[in-house]
Amino acid sequence: MNVIYDRKANILYLKFSDSKLVDSDMVNEDVVVSFDKDGEIVNIDFC
């Protein structure tokens, strides 16, 4: 897992794999969860 903080954009990224993203769900206005073709979580973005 990689944790990346973009100070300029004020976004925290939690990256769980290098799989290609095929879908994303906005959990709420501050959290986006992205999935691969198998439905596994690839990353979570906290805005």
- Going from N- to C-terminal start, the domains of the chain cover 2-46
In angstroms, what CA-CA distances link 14 with 3, 24, 41? 5, 14, 10
Q: How open is the CA angle 37-9-20, to the nearest 5 degrees?
A: 15
The reported pLDDT for the residue numbered 14 is 98
The reported pLDDT for the residue numbered 13 is 97
The reported pLDDT for the residue numbered 11 is 97
Q: What is the pLDDT along the chain (47 residues), one digit of tens a residue?
A: 999 999 999 999 999 999 999 999 999 999 999 999 999 999 999 99
Residue 13 exposed, middle or buried by CB count within 10 Å (0-12, 13-18, 19+): middle
